[in-house]
Structures are given as C-alpha cells and as structure tokens.
Amino acid sequence: MKLQEHCLTCIYDQTKRVCELLNVDEQQAQKIDCLAHTKIATFDMNQTPPHNAAPLYEAMAEVLGVHDLYAQFKADSSEKAKAFLPLCEQKIKQSSHKLFEATKTAVAGNVIDLAAVMLYDLEEELEKIYHTPFAIDDFALLEQQLAHTQTLVYLADNAGEEIFDKLYIQTIKELFPKINVYYFVRGRPIINDLTCQDALASGMNDVATIVDSGVPTPGLAMELMNENARVLFEKAECIISKGMGNYECLGEVAGLPIFFLFKVKCNVVAQAVGAQLGNIICKRGI
C-alpha cells in the first residue's frame, strides 16, 4: 500500500506523541520537530507508510539517546492487557465455536495501539468486538486453511496484543495439534511493535517459536526479512497477519496464504481494504 498524503500528517502526529510520552524538554522537542519535517519532506510516495516511517523513528531514538522509545509503554500495555485475560478466556471457553471466538479475541487485542488516532476504553472495546461481525469475513476460509496447515507463521503487531495472541495460538493448537506456530516479531525496537524481548517477557515461547524476523519497519517488509525468517515464511501453509502495518506492507502481495486480522483505524486503510473506520477485518490475501 503506497504512502498517501494523509499518512504524512499521521506520521508527524506520531512524533509529537513520542515527545509527550517521554516528557522531553522544549529543546529536544524542537529538534524532533525539525527532524520530522526534514525526513517527511524526503518520503517516497511509491513506498509503504512503514518503509517511510522507520528511518524517522530510528533517527528520533538516536537524537533522544534512547534505544527503545516505547519500552515502558510497551510493558504497561502488556500488563493492562493481562487484566482482561479472565474475560477473554471465559468467552472462548463458553463459545460453541472456540476458533471463531479466539479469532475475535486476537482482533480485540488490536485496539492496543499508541500509533492509532482513535482513543479507546479497552474493556468496552473488547465487549463490543465480541458482538460485532467482521465487515470482511473470510473466517471460514481461514478455518479451512488451518485444517490443512502444519507450519503457521503468525505476524505480531503491537506490544500488548501478544497477550491476546497467546490465547488465540493456544486455541489453534488445541484444535489443530499438528500445527507448529512461528511467531514473527520485529528485528529491533520500532515504535510500540513487538520485539523478541517483549514476546519472551509475556511467555509467548510457551505456545510458539518466537522468530526474530530481522525486519526493522513497523510492518513486515518481505525484502528485509533475514534468511531464517524467509525460509519459514515461504514454507508456511498459512500466515496470520495482525495489525494495519502488516497489511500496509503485504495487502497487495499476491499469492500468499495469508489472512489479515485487524481493526480499521485510519481512512487510508479503510479505503484500501474496502471497509469503514472502526470495522474489524478477517481478510484472505489476494
């Protein structure tokens, strides 16, 4: 998905949120503001938003002298998510269709996103999503695909979501015990996306093999994967992709056995996917 004019404003606003989150002083904030304007002016409109944004976020971290800009926010997001595990576990356990309810749980986790414009109340959002139909509903195709899958690649998104992803993966493995799950995370800290360290801290290795994809962008850029990740990615009979960033990078890639799970949080993605702001999506790739 190519960068759109609206994306420029969104990315710029994200740099402002970084300054607020880290409580930077006025001098640092001015440096970040100048950096943002300079970098955004050179963005390639033929590339995806994650491709363009990554160098800006890396430069911001360098200016601020911080390796992981959102380290504390990510830890807080995961802790907040854990508080809702009993609700989600109960929903799945009581459902007559556990896989469907677990898929909804994974999508519900996608509301935890600092980069999104929309604000939320997590408990209200969780309940709402359990009672909201998919605007694009390829769940039946996903279920069929999983029934014939031995290698499942699961593309992680934001820290905090892994708490819900873990429940989803547990359910998948319960229903399809022959499946081996490989949980792909970013190669290094980039905004609030999940890294190996974040996934390990949440015990994701109890249910899946955590894979450092090598990708430094806030969305899986295929050409930036390391060799280990590439082999697994190409071997997988099914790929589950969480979040808009991964959709922005992979939504127009044909021929992948991929299913996109996310909540639509911006108008650019809404137009690209053919849905409305706020919709939840379970979409087969093209």
* pTM for the full predicted model: 0.92
Model confidence at 119, in pLDDT bands (50, 70, 90)?
A: very low
Residues 6 or more apart in contact with residue 72 via CB below 8 angstroms:
none
Q: Measured between alpha carbons, how far is 181 from 170 in angstroms, rounded to an integer?
A: 10
Q: Do 182 and 273 reside in the same domain of the chain?
A: yes
> Higher model confidence: residue 157 or residue 114?
157
User: Are 267 and 244 within 8 A, CB to CB?
Assistant: no
Least confident of 34-48, 89-103, 113-127, 161-175: 113-127
The domain tally of the chain equals 2
Range of the domain at 106: 71-284
Q: Do 20 and 81 reside in the same domain of the chain?
A: no
pLDDT in the model for residue 121: 64
Q: Do 129 and 194 reside in the same domain of the chain?
A: yes
Q: Measured between alpha carbons, how far is 36 from 85 in angstroms, rounded to an integer?
A: 38
pLDDT in the model for residue 56: 93
Q: Do 16 and 108 reside in the same domain of the chain?
A: no
Q: Do 139 and 55 reside in the same domain of the chain?
A: no
> Higher model confidence: residue 122 or residue 14?
14
Residue 280: DSSP 8-state: E
Q: Measured between alpha carbons, how far is 166 from 59 in angstroms, rounded to an integer?
A: 32
Last residue of a domain, one of 64, 86, 107: 64
Mean of pLDDT values over 113-128: 58
Q: Do 105 and 20 reside in the same domain of the chain?
A: no
152 — alpha (psi -120 to 50), left (phi > 0) or beta? beta
Q: pLDDT (tens digit, 9 = 90+) per residue, 68-118? A: 988 988 898 888 888 888 889 999 999 999 999 999 999 988 875 544 434
Residues 6 or more apart in contact with residue 23 via CB below 8 angstroms:
none
Is the confidence at residue 34, as pLDDT, over 70?
yes
Is the confidence at residue 122, as pLDDT, over 80?
no
Q: Do 29 and 100 reside in the same domain of the chain?
A: no
Is the confidence at residue 127, as pLDDT, over 90?
no
Q: Do 14 and 134 reside in the same domain of the chain?
A: no
Last residue of a domain, one of 42, 64, 86: 64
Q: pLDDT (tens digit, 9 = 90+) per residue, 196-238? A: 999 999 999 999 999 999 999 999 999 999 999 999 999 999 9
Q: What is the CATH number of the domain that holds 133?
A: 3.40.50.10880
Query: Taking the C-alpha atoms of 255, 174, 156 and 67 in order, what is their torsion angle to the nearest 10 degrees?
Result: -150
Query: Taking the C-alpha atoms of 108, 128, 251 and 45 in order, what is their torsion angle to the nearest 10 degrees?
Result: -100
pLDDT in the model for residue 124: 75
pLDDT in the model for residue 190: 93
Mean of pLDDT values over 137-153: 98
Last residue of a domain, one of 64, 86, 110: 64
